[in-house]
Amino acid sequence: MATNDINRMKELNELLAKAADAYYNTGVEIMSDKQYDDLYDELAALEKKTGVILSGSRTQQVGFEVSSGLKKIKHPSKMLSLDKTKSVEELKSWLGEHKGFLSWKLDGLTLVLTYEGGELVQAVTRGNGEIGEDITQNARHIKGIPARIPFTGRLVVRGESLMKYKDFERVNAEIDDGSKYKNPRNLCVGTVRNLDSRVTAERNINFFAFNLVSAEGYEENSFSARLDWLEQQGFQRVYGITVTSDTVEGAVADFEKAIADNEFPSDGLVLMYDDVAYGISLGETSHAPRNGIAFKWRDETADTTLREVEWSASRTGLLNPVAIFDPVELEGTTVSRASVHNLSIVKQLRLGIGDTLTIFKANMIIPQVLENKTASGNLEIPAVCPVCGEPTEIRTSDEDVETLVCTNKACAAKHIGKFEHFVQRDAMNIVGMSTATIETLVSEGFVREFRDFYHLDDHKFKIVVLEGFGEKSYQKLADAVEASRNTELSRVLYAMGIPNIGRQASRLICAQYPTADELEHLTVPELTAIDGIGEILANDYVKFFADEKNLAEYHALLAELHIEEAAAVNSESAIAGKTFVITGSVHIWKNRNELKAFIEQNGGKAAGSVSSKTDYLINNDNTSNSAKNKTAKELGIPIITEEEFQAMVGNI
């Protein structure tokens, strides 16, 4: 089986996942439906040809499961840790005249996988080396662990599950617990051991095989060739190269240079004898096997002066301390900030403005405070939130970890979801305004209400120097904000986040009352007179505009916008008053959203699920066994193609 088939399958999965994410989450179509279908078919054909189905394949739907607990599993033999060194000379001496395999020492959670008949039957954590925990269901949602492999004998493989730095930052920002995870490894461990497998899937954990323990009937003796073979079976494998005592020093230097660009955390290197049989013949000591050795770099440190502690607000109300210090050079880059994680660590370090701090990079990547040499302890803990100015409070978790929180329920930092809704595609459509960006703008105090998005230029020189920003990224964001000023009134109404008033309801209301002034004065009887607006929606709507704060925010936002007149709904069309549900891919319209908008513009309704109120299900594949097709057939609802729908509409 050719390795390029596996690589092509990985590429296809990435392309399809990216296209699906763009279509459903941003509204940007990066490929046509035909292109998507062609790539999907190619992937399915390659899976059939190779016998490999990669983890997370777009052709598979793995069910989620919530466990009541993790079963304890005893390892067949004790999993020992490698001896360690920080000396390249010792590596050369240890290798001697033998060929070795040098690879990353990945910093995550070690897993042992067992396959039988080509299927994953068990995944166990390393645990204490003797007893681990069964996380098989979660393993089915880890990238790099194939659901099926072509090798049908019993196979046991070890590897590392870990999390990319960017995923760590994304997930850590969303955690509602009292204190955040300090590093990707801790978050990875918590995720893999989570009792709900959906959490594992959402957090994007990766697995890299680093050792083939056994494969029934497979005789290859080269350690590096065995890893190549695992890659052909569909596994992600650790990156490494073969070395000799003459080349190992240069190889270590090359690995060190690559650290800055590494997406995954590593805490050194591993050197194994490439001759597997020779390595095994050496046996083991009471605490370590003799077939390999770990190498760790000496941490580079630098002393600097603490100038400020910034308290960054999160959506949970937690105020996270960040040390700001005079810039220092570490591992080839300049750093001037380091997270201090929580109030307990601030107190342990006895931080004070002007203190001399020793800084290092954890895993040669993440800046951390190693020690405080002067420890003045004179830092003043803020009594008010930097975002809203309301009082703060110190809280202690069950683990005795102290955190600083904002007590104001109305603090803008606690309403990130409100701003996320505001910028989304169907609302104000501010392209590129991600959750992380919103959190930064709110935390820095630049965004407190909707209108503030349209005054980011007041803070430009502060924004461009923030981590993750720059002149180009700021300008791209500013252009997107400016483009969103020209919009329809129904989008504005939806963007306000009125309870139960969705995009469809906003369109219906604005079609009947097309001016901004009318919208804020509507009564319950006027609203319920609109077909499709019930009493619950009407009451929520009226209650929203009766709140003076909501009304003021509405007026302030309107002052920033240029409202375009929406095209009149064609209530005389052949589909007016009829309810449609759309499923499957489309090829006449650009995408399903475009078809949905067409239906609504011509007086029809586009629902999300099939019910007795549905008039037609639009599906180009009426032989599909999808749930919507089955429901439509059970209810006697006609299933029509796009062409049939087009004929129904006529010459619109």
Tell me which residues are annotated as active site: 105
Written as six digits, the tokens of 188 are 């990875």
| DSSP string of 243-284, one letter each residue | E-TTTHHHHHHHHHHHGGG-SS-EEEEEEEESBHHHHHHT-B
CA distance 131 to 109: 14
**Residue keyed to tokens 């959750």:** 435
> Which of 448, 203, 467 lies closest to 322, judged by CA?
467
- The 3-class secondary structure across 589-613, one letter per residue, is CCCHHHHHHHHHHCCCEEECCCCCC
Q: For residue 639, list its beta bridge partners.
A: 617
Sign of CA dihedral 258, 262, 265, 269: negative
b/e burial code for range 287-300 (CB count within 10 A of at least 16 → b):
eebbbbbbbebeee
> Which of 484, 84, 522 lies closest to 287, judged by CA?
84
CB 343 within 8 A of CB 357: no
Element (H or E) spanning 463, and its range?
A: helix 460-463
Q: For residue 618, list its beta bridge partners.
A: 582, 640
CB 363 within 8 A of CB 107: yes
Which residue type, as a one-letter code, is found at position 502?
G
Strand-strand pairing, 562-564 and 72-74: unpaired
Which residue type, as a one-letter code, is found at position 604?
G
The DSSP secondary-structure symbol of 144 reads: T
**Cα atoms in the Cβ-side hemisphere of radius 13 Å centred on 466:** 21
Strands of 340-411 (E only): list them: 356-362, 366-372, 392-396, 402-406
Sign of CA dihedral 614, 620, 622, 626: negative
Element (H or E) spanning 341, and its range?
A: none
Longest Cα–Cα distance of the chain, Å, equals: 90
CA distance 558 to 360: 49
**Residue keyed to tokens 């380091």:** 338
The DSSP secondary-structure symbol of 228 reads: H
CA distance 28 to 32: 11
CB 269 within 8 A of CB 103: yes
54 conformational bin, left if phi > 0, alpha if psi -120 to 50, beta if neither:
beta
CA distance 200 to 194: 7
CB 457 within 8 A of CB 464: no
